[in-house]
Structure 1
Amino acid sequence: MGLMACQTRRITVHGHFIIMSLPRLFKPFQQIHGSFVHQLLNKWFKSELGKEILQQEKALLERLLPSMFGYNLVQTGFGEPHWLAESSTIHNKIYLCEQPQYSGYYRCVCSHLDELALATESVDVAILHHSLDFASAPHRVLREMSRVVIPGGKIVIVGFNPWSLWGVFRFVQMHSIRMPWSGNFISAYRLSDWLKLLDFHVEGYESTAYGLPTANDRTRKLFNWISYLGQRVWRQRGGVYVLVATKQVSTLTPIKPRFSSVTDSLVHIPIAGIAKPSIRNHWNKTNKRET
């Protein structure tokens, strides 16, 4: 059946057949996430549907970022940089990418997302643009990002929603290498659990892209009622979501150590010096003190 088929063999144990599976040579796409992920994702974001999704994501962030303040902002992503932080008032902006990039609008730093080349607690706002959707270990990326965010800082996560029409299409084409259906599609509920373990408080959640994941005008006109209904009934069931979480500040109450009192056992020594012996009156022969 070829290399793509899983080779098996049967072993008899006490009259029962046990089927043992050998490891596959060609791993599923979700387990590889090699350098070609950047190329495929670049191609999809340049498509008509990809451009539309970028515009909707940018519209959401333009309403959120102006209210976030600080000194350093970091955005991560895969493939060609898609800068979404133009509306932020933070002066120092950095784009983190795993492949060397150049831009005249912002600084690019080449770094692995699961081993960030940033100092601990040095970032005020971190934007993860589909970084968890296409990372081989999304929980490690999130844990590393929580390390570099300062207490009180914010993480803004942009991802594909599995509990949407996009999630249904992804379930049908989950074994395909086509973008974006080969991504992880991590739900916001699962992310909130991860964030709570990292001492983050989820501030809120918004979604967009309620229609069918297609750019065909004829299909859109035919099923335009789905998008209309989703915006009014299923407000959190859009194909793309934005989740904001704040790193909690640990409030430690100092406890004063309790030592046993040792003042009673100390010998009182005059500060001015050592006391001189007192002058004693001499006694006469009749055992009377002289006056």
Structure 2
Amino acid sequence: MLSKLDAGWFETPLGQHLLFREQRYFDQAVSDVFGFNAVQVGLPHIDFLRNSRIPLRVHCAVEAPAQVNADPMFLPFESQSLDLLLLPHVLEFSANPHQVLREAERVLRPEGRLVLAGFNPRSLWGLAHQLKGSERGYPWNGTFLNISRVKDWMVLLGLEVAGGSMCCYRPPINRENWLRRLRFMEPAGDRWWAMGGGVYFLQAVKRVQGMHVILPQWKHAVAPRLLAPAAKVLNSKVINLNQHRISREL
């Protein structure tokens, strides 16, 4: 997870470039999610829940200034208690990202929504990650995960992918003047290199398959027809018995 020194990276020109786009995406993603409880895991110094209409909003992380201090692999929330869960760059900085997703599935209510952000290894950011190495600090000291791999994990856990997007097509140059010069790459990337953004977003909904017994309709339709001959035979026997009884009396 991030330390205080890593959090300072978001104050750099490149960090501000990333934060502006991520904040815009999360603002849109959380605005139409309703419920009672919302939790953001990681990056506690950034409020990605600011545009949420859910009344109870909590920030959870290992470090301050989180309201709840906990490891994302072991969330201190009841099962099926959250309507919205955000994981901004949590998976790539976890020792067991699959366990983090497993915990996310556990704490989400049925039809609850998960929104996450991750660094894309198949991008210019991914190339910089390979060249710079972990000694360059955040975000290059994380393990960038392929979006297809994360989607596969979600499917296995019963989390249905409901949407996604990418951003940050510009190379990760930490100079404001160069970032301004290369701003044309953002709309061009969305059009020509859709899977090459430095950051991907995924939204997923927890689906719970319930068992509903459906009675076959043919039973109700066929049963009267099956019983009809027996009823006719019984009625004929009663009529014959009555006629025999009357003849004896006469």
TM-score range relative to shorter protein? 0.7 to 0.9
1:59 alignment partner in structure 2 = 24
**2:125 equivalent to 1:166:** yes
1:194 alignment partner in structure 2 = 153
2:95 is aligned, of 124, 128, 136, to: 136
2:55 alignment partner in structure 1 = 91
1:18 alignment partner in structure 2 = none
When the two structures are superposed, what TM-score results if normalisation uses the length of structure 1?
A: 0.69
When the two structures are superposed, what TM-score results if normalisation uses the length of structure 2?
A: 0.79
Structure of greater relative contact order (alpha carbons < 8 Å, 6+ residues apart): 2
Deviation of 1:222 after TM superposition, in Å, equals: 5.6
| 2: CA distance, partners of 1:43 / 1:218 | 20
1:240 is aligned, of 167, 187, 199, to: 199
1:252 alignment partner in structure 2 = 211
Letter in 2 for 1:67: D
Deviation of 1:255 after TM superposition, in Å, equals: 9.2
Deviation of 1:219 after TM superposition, in Å, equals: 3.4
Greater Cα radius of gyration, structure 1 or 2? 1
Letter in 1 for 2:192: V
| 2: CA distance, partners of 1:96 / 1:230 | 33
2:65 alignment partner in structure 1 = 101
User: Which of the pair is proportionally richer in helix?
Assistant: 2
Number of aligned residue pairs: give it: 215
Following superposition of structure 1 onto structure 2, how do residues 1-291 of structure 1 map, counting pairs within 5 Å?
A: 37-78=2-43, 80-101=44-65, 108-220=67-179, 223-254=182-213
CA deviations over 1:34-70 (Å, ceiling 9, x no partner): xxx4133212112221122111101112222111111
| 1: CA distance, partners of 2:136 / 2:171 | 20
Unaligned runs of 5+ in 2: 216-250
3-state SS of paired residue (2:201): strand
Letter in 2 for 1:212: P
Unaligned runs of 5+ in 1: 1-32, 103-107, 257-291
CA deviations over 1:238-288 (Å, ceiling 9, x no partner): 1111100011122213599xxxxxxxxxxxxxxxxxxxxxxxxxxxxxxxx
CA deviations over 1:215-236 (Å, ceiling 9, x no partner): 3245346645544421321233
